């Protein structure tokens, strides 16, 4: 399930937004995001990932460790945060960029407010 908020009913009923919503539902099924964006991630998960990354490069100088951890965390976000993920149909764009393009074609603005992914089995 996916909730997309638009700035008008006309934008919500437009073909580009309807197509984007269907594509995003497919994308969510395929890529299994765990959060909408980094602010929606459980802080414990982020801290756990930081600790793992820091441990992987513990032999480096502290300022280098910090930059490496930051880079690896950015990659983690692009793997698990829906808006930052490369779009499955065109991996040169993020989901957020594809939505912005669809909204522009529809003549307005749109944002993904939330999603729920169900998995059976």
| CATH code of the domain in which 62 resides | 3.30.479.20
Number of domains in the chain: 1
Q: If you compute the radius of gyration of the chain from its CA atoms, what whole number of angstroms results?
A: 17
Q: Distances from the Cα of 76 to the Cαs of 1, 14, 39, 104, 116, in angstroms?
A: 23, 33, 13, 29, 20
Is residue 121, in this structure, part of any structural domain at all? Answer: no
Question: What distances in angstroms separate CA 10 from CA 25, 76, 84, 101, 106, one per listed residue?
Answer: 21, 36, 27, 16, 8
Ordered mean pLDDT values, 10 residues apiece, the chain (121 residues): 95 97 96 96 95 92 91 96 97 97 97 93 81
Query: How high is the pLDDT of residue 116?
Result: 94
Structure tokens at 114: 């939330």
Q: Given this model, what pLDDT does residue 10 score?
A: 95
- Domain carrying residue 56: 2-115
Residue with tokens 């930052």: 84
| Dihedral (Cα; 79, 92, 10, 81), 10-degree rounding | 10
Residue 120 belongs to a domain: no
């Amino acid at each position: 399930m996916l909730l997309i908020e638009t700035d008008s009913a006309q934008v919500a009923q437009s073909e580009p937004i309807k197509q984007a919503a269907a594509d995003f539902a497919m994308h969510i099924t395929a890529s299994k995001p765990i959060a909408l964006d980094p602010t929606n991630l459980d802080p414990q998960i982020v801290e756990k990932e930081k600790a793992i990354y820091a441990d992987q490069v513990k032999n480096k100088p502290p300022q280098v460790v910090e930059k490496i951890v930051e880079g690896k965390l950015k990659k983690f976000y692009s793997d698990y945060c829906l808006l930052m993920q490369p779009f499955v149909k065109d991996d040169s764009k993020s989901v957020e960029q594809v939505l912005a393009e669809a909204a522009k074609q529809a003549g307005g603005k749109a944002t993904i407010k939330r999603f729920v992914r169900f998995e059976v089995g």
